[in-house]
A and B are shown apart, each in its own frame.
Chain A
Amino acid sequence: MSKLTPVLSANWDEKDSFTIAGYKRNGGYKAVEKALAMEPDAVIQSVKDSGLRGRGGAGFPTGMKWGFIPQGDNKEHYFVVNADESEPGTCKDTPLMMANPHVLIEGIIIGSYAIRANHAFIYIRGEVAHVIRRVQQAIEDAYKAGYLGKNILGKGFDLELILHVGAGAYICGEETALLDSLEGFRGQPRLRPPFPAIAGLYARPTIVNNVETVASVPSIIANGPEWFAAIGTEKSKGYTLYSLSGHVNNPGQFEAPLGITLRELLELAGGIRNGHKLKFWTPGGSSTPLFTDAHLDTPLDYEGVSAAGSMLGTKALQIFDETTCIVRAVLRWTEFYKHESCGKCTPCREGTWWLVQILKDLEHGKGTAEDLDKLLDLCDNIMGRSFCALADGAASPIISSIRYFKDEYLQHLAIGGCPFDSVASTIFATSPAGGAK
């Protein structure tokens, strides 16, 4: 029996899954009717009871977050969806919005109702023009159908939903940088406290939730929190999207209960590309410490991954087989972090600048074994010293790669260059063992 539990992705194979008609045919917009008939606090309680935790990486309990919004404060509240999915490997929200934008919109209406917000925003990554158009169309359709705007479903609840297109900065996925960007400023993280729930967008109480988190809410309301809580593991409830990419035969989204293992997911994804074997992988995007084939049976829930020394993150499983040079892969990620460092704080800004230079030398076999110690020491000076988590993410792959593959680094130094055939790891590799399918 398949381990898959498709909810969000249940109808992705239907031609009109992205349309309001397609969504409604499959029971869409029923949850919002139910929610608007409930007290807002009861909605929050349901989400609390479901055990839903943030799917954007940190795993903070969603219902608890909603409960932080002060009520009766006579202030405008805002509900903001973080759709600035930009991390290498992370690719769940984009297909979700592409294939089923209405489930997100329904979640936004329910969430906004719960926290008493009359304005909601989707902050979407600027590069995904096709998704932007699709979400924009979905919002228009939802307005026309009376799910957005004044007096929704005749229940007296008003909600304006605005789609805001970012300019392509990874840092704007950090919630306070996102809020700065949404306000029209340059996206840089804000000093906390105050937290967004107290003073967020325009210094008003604000919830910032990930796309998948919000999209999970309608199913919780429709089926009840017990239904959701019955899926998954003790502390990591529910289903979620696992994104497998890289050297697997059938990459893509796999919606399964939290706690599934990579071994099980690889079976679903048709295994590592033929003729190859697993070398290393990221459990939750490039900012989470690497795993190896020793972690094939680690339960992929918040606790399981954490206990094994990494983070569940965005459940972006990038799979690398033995043709991949670890130094090369880590350098590419580090270059990404250097490029995306916002520049606000010293360790991230200067640290990533420096790390790239050392890793470049190492890839070309230049340097000494002491450089590895230096790298680790620099990472120690970056980890937990920076303003936001971006720099932690930059240090993670370096530290974990040296932990598992120190010999491979040293091999570069020994032969004065990279021992790998860089073509062999590509999709267009022609060696007998190469090729995905």
Chain B
Amino acid sequence: MSTQEVSADVTLELITLTIDGFEVTVPKGTLVIRAAEKLGIQIPRFCDHPLLDPVGACRQCLVDIEINGRKFPKPQASCTIPVETGMVVNTQLTSNVAEKAQKGIMEFLLVNHPLDCPVCDKGGECPLQNQAMSNGNGESRFDGYKRTFEKPIKISAQVLLDRERCILCARCTRFSEEIAGDPFITLNDRGALQQVGIYEEKPFDSYFSGNTIQICPVGALTGASYRFRARPFDLVSTPSACEHCASGCDMRTDVRRGKTLRRLAGDDSQVNEEWNCDKGRWAFKYATANNRIKTPMIRGADGELHEASWPEALATAAAGLSVNRAAVLVGGRATVEDAYGYSKFARVALNTNDIDFRSRVHTDEERDFLTSAIVGVQVNYSAIDRADHLVLIGFEPEDESPIVFLRAYKQVRKRGLKVTTIAPFTTRGSKKLNAQVIKSAAGNESQLISKISGLTSKSVILVGERLCESYGALSAALKLAQTSGAKLAWIPRRAGERGAIEAGAIGTLLPGGRPVSDVAARVDIQSAWGVKSIPENIGRTTSEILVGLQSGDIDSLLVGGVDPLDISADALVGLEKAFVVSLEMRHSSITEIANVILPIAAVVEKSGSFLDWEGRARAFETAVDVPDLRSDVRILSMIAEKMGKPINLPTVAAAANEFASLGNWDGARAPFIAASGTAISGDTILASWRLLLDAGSLQDGEVNLANTAHPSVAVISTDRAEKLGVKSGDPVRVSNSRGEITLPCEIKDIESNSVWVPRNSHTSKTIATLGIASGASVSVVKA
């Protein structure tokens, strides 16, 4: 597929060669081993990996080659030799020399490999085991002694290494260097005692470390969480998609007897290639956490929650939502189908446009930006592949959308893609991307965006979801894109946000990007849904809904998957007054005040799809079937029925089909009214974002993962450090009138008027503690 994609852009020189008597034509530069694959000829290999640079280390793929009648004197590693016109290749299938060479190498590989397949995690899905069977001698002639090592050693909290199993193919070390840009593991020593190792002072704290386990062709690298838990042949695998962010990773969920044991990166050359981040790989235990809700609950007259039957709970919810003026808050983690359910439920069952998926800091400028410039627009990863200049604004890809980071890093490494970022300081990610950093205090981005020049129609601007916190910045970014012709994409953090926009889970939009304000758009939906009318007014935003709840304007609320503390420190206050129906997975501050709680299925327990930041659908199937746990849309359909205002979405498939049948709006978009930002001032302005690994509730229950989180630090400038009399590592206290956060400081190139802290780590929760996310004044003192 990637070949086709490339060929659309440039004309490729094709080369015809002969492999095992068959002619094959491939693009110039193709390696012999891949050309053979095209013919269905499998040459055994270990170090070779299509996404890593050729290395030719394991020598397993030796074949006989002649070019224009001249034979190479020795068999050649087919993973390092590009095809040439007139090349004649004879693999193990047609050359005795190649076959003997391969069998010889296989025998050597097994010299120092233990025969512990029966207790090895890899047994059953092991390239060494498989290829030893297919391309090895039945028996080894080796009867000497093997090298032994202490086993296992911890490369990180998550990755364990059994050195005696390692065949030294260097896939893991090459991945870390070439793909992740985190060369924290390397080969040490030499000869048969060569081994993968870490530098003690620099642990393997890569967000992508789990991939090394997945590409290890033997059982040398294992995950601490999965080690010894299962044999591959006992697992049932289900294609899946990642729910943790908007990168859109294709995934695979492996289940043994109803229990999720591991998740692996799936193979999608257009999205995550074959990689994923450690959060996507390992954060799945939240679904089996102790506080999981499995039965419906109703708050009784005594003020306490009581377990209830489904009919009883549905009836109570329906009654509570029927008699009142209601609104809907749906968190950013809903699937497209669920978001569509909420969207339709609000309009049909509650007769309101008061719905918003943004359970986080948000602005009206952002809503208008999404409504006018993002909904229905597709910008793909391939745009990064072809970009002449990548501009990141309010977006730290390694933390906030890791695959975007990997794809950008690949281009930086392969062809020196120019990257510019507007950020408070030079992060590790910016360094790896060799980015030009335009330093900005949080809130002042709009002033700097207008100064970026030299963009072309091949340039790509990526704005982060949190850029909305900087007033006028989205407007400035949109203007930059419009004046330069550059592509503009918005990258939310949560997996469901893009889908929620398309599904109309926001007050300005109906499904398919139809503006609420457009009568034709409303008629479209009315007729599709078979309803007499759709409310005409623009719906309230999340914060307006909270105000409405507080003032009594709104008195009941349907809420799905929202953590009030992601919105603001005071969000709960309004909620307490209202009748709250909560569709939730686990107990939280919402369920503490909810009147009715309806349990829902986690991602592995249901089917559905997300739209990633590109707008690309990422469908997934049910991996673990739990009879009483349903996707939100199914429950919403049942409530609507009880209310006598059916939405007729009894299954996820029904919702998906109906949403697809609506199609996209092809009429005019709501015009965007630009907001212009003014420079904020102050001598200590807070900047923050969420680290990839932090206190997010979907990471609960996975202690090994948590142990590789980057440490929480307060980033301050040299000037400030001098003024405070602190050195790196000394504690500082960041505070305002609401509260204080104390963290070790790290001195970086941040501007003197800024301080950065993690937004939601275990020791630094800005919204809960300080009541702010970024762009506001705080004070910093030596603690």
Contacts and interface: CB of A to CB of B under 8 A. Distances in A.
Contact of B58 (A345, A357, A378): A345
B187 A347 contact: no
A131 to B, nearest CB: 24
Interface of B: 54-60, 62, 73-75, 80, 100-101, 104-105, 107-109, 111-112, 141-142, 144-145, 147, 167-168, 186-194
B144 A354 contact: yes
A177 to B, nearest CB: 11
Contact of B187 (A343, A378, A381): A343
A377 B190 CA distance: 25
A341 B108 contact: no
Interface of A: 169, 171, 186, 191, 338-347, 349-354, 357-358, 374, 377-378, 380-382, 384-387
B161 to A, nearest CB: 16
A381 B141 contact: no
A358 B191 CA distance: 17
A171 B191 CA distance: 11
Contacts of A385: 59, 62, 74-75, 101, 104-105
B74 A346 contact: no
Contacts of A386: 59
Contacts of B192: 338, 341, 343, 349-350, 352-353
Nearest to B146: A353
Nearest to B72: A384
Given A354-B144, A385-B75, A343 B104 contact: no
Contacts of A374: 141
A405 B630 CA distance: 79
The SS class assigned to the A binding surface is helix
A354 B189 CA distance: 18
15 contacts: A339-B191, A340-B190, A340-B191, A342-B191, A343-B190, A343-B191, A346-B59, A349-B108, A352-B191, A353-B111, A353-B147, A353-B192, A354-B144, A381-B107, A385-B75
A340 B192 CA distance: 10
Given A343-B190, A352-B191, A384 B59 contact: no
A339 B191 CA distance: 7
Contacts of A350: 108-109, 111-112, 192
B469 to A, nearest CB: 43
A347 B193 contact: no
A346 B187 contact: no
Given A191-B54, A347-B104, A357-B144, A384 B75 contact: yes
Given A381-B100, A381-B101, A385-B74, A354 B108 contact: yes
Contact of B59 (A338, A353, A377, A387): A387
Contact of A353 (B75, B107, B112): B112
Contact of A343 (B144, B145, B189): B189
Contacts of B55: 191
A384 to B, nearest CB: 4
Contacts of B107: 381
Contact of B74 (A171, A345, A384): A384
A339 B193 CA distance: 10
B764 to A, nearest CB: 38
Nearest to B186: A186
Contacts of B80: 191
A387 B56 contact: yes
Contact of A191 (B56, B108, B145, B186): B56
A343 B194 contact: yes
Contacts of A352: 191-192
B472 to A, nearest CB: 45
Contacts of A357: 144-145
Given A352-B191, A387-B59, 12 more contacts: A342-B191, A343-B192, A346-B59, A347-B59, A347-B105, A351-B108, A357-B144, A357-B145, A358-B144, A384-B74, A385-B59, A385-B104
A343 B74 CA distance: 21
Given A338-B191, A381-B104, A349 B168 contact: yes
A377 B108 CA distance: 12
A52 to B, nearest CB: 25
A246 B56 CA distance: 38
B101 to A, nearest CB: 5
Nearest to B54: A191
Nearest to A348: B191
A120 to B, nearest CB: 28
B52 to A, nearest CB: 12
Nearest to A337: B191
Nearest to A171: B190
Which of A342, A346, A350 is the most central at the interface, judged by chain B CB atoms within 10 Å of its CB?
A346
Contact of A345 (B59, B188, B189): B59
Contacts of B189: 343
A387 to B, nearest CB: 6
B741 to A, nearest CB: 41
A247 B100 CA distance: 40
A345 B108 CA distance: 10
Contacts of B112: 350, 353
A386 to B, nearest CB: 7
Nearest to A381: B104
B717 to A, nearest CB: 32
Contacts of B141: 374
What 4 A-B pairs have minimum CB-CB distances, sorted nearest first?
Answer: A381-B104, A343-B194, A384-B74, A357-B144
Given A186-B187, A341-B190, A381-B104, A354 B111 contact: yes
